[in-house]
Amino acid sequence: MKQVLIVEDDRNLSRGLCLALKNQDLQIVPCFDLKSARKQLACGMTDLVLLDINLPDGNGLELLREIKNGDQLIPVILLTANDTERDEVMGLEQGADDYITKPFSLEILRARVKNQLRRISVNEKKNMVIDHYRFDFEHMEFYKADAAVELSKTEQKLLRLLVENRGATLSRAVLIDRIWGDGSAYVDENALSVAVKRLRDKLDAGQYIKTVYGLGYVWVMKQDE
């Protein structure tokens, strides 16, 4: 499930946006000022931000810069009544992924949101940034902070399964089947435990890769612990 953060101080408009985007695959979180938006973003669960520029406690462009300078690659769609070409250029130059001026069609808004979420789904499978980690599965390059980490093919498969399903416990049987495929019937049952330990040690990820005793393993975010 993707989380969409709506930062809009007009409560009637915010309510309308929440209803327009209501979907079983989306969690919609409304915030009405920069302070509450920053608090929500700190939870690390936001996938997309709809951001008004004129907010009661500051300019939304400040938050846009903070998001784009942060560790997580979160797309931002600006929602604003500032409809001059200069305003639009300024917003895009500061990193906005899209720009919608008020008033706007809810159909267009839904289409723009869907487009950004589609891009996320494609990109996150190839390149993931999680806290101080960066995992590039397209080029098989893995980093803890700025330090490259060498992973074996087995560890790469294990890592990808865990981070693509983060928050969900994957059973030992599922992991063995997905990692070793047709040869899983011949894999020593201790092989998975060894692979998990090596991955934890190489990434120093003991606080992320958790053992769910009797079930399997899960990648958790620190704030979910």
Per-residue pLDDT for 225 more than 50?
Answer: no
Identify whether 224 is part of a domain: no
Domain end (from 85, 107, 126): 126
Q: Is the pTM of this model over 0.85?
A: no
The reply to whether 55 and 92 lie within a common domain is yes
pLDDT in tens, 15-54: 999 999 998 788 999 999 999 999 999 877 898 999 999 9
pLDDT in tens, 141-181: 999 988 999 999 999 999 989 998 888 899 998 899 888 87
Segments forming the whole domain that contains residue 36: 2-126
Q: What HEC string does the chain produce?
A: CEEEEEECCCHHHHHHHHHHHCCCCEEEEEECCHHHHHHHHCCCCCCEEEEECEECCEEHHHHHHHHHCCCCCCCEEEEECCCCHHHHHHHHHCCCCEEEECCCCHHHHHHHHHHHHHHHHHHHCCEEEECCEEEECCCCEEEECCEECCCCHHHHHHHHHHHHCCCCCEEHHHHHHHHHHHHHHHCCCHHHHHHHHHHHHHHCCCCCEEEECCCEEEECCHHHC
Count of domains in the chain?
2
Highest mean pLDDT pick, 41-45, 60-64, 127-131: 60-64
Identify whether 40 is part of a domain: yes
Greater pLDDT, 122 or 143: 143
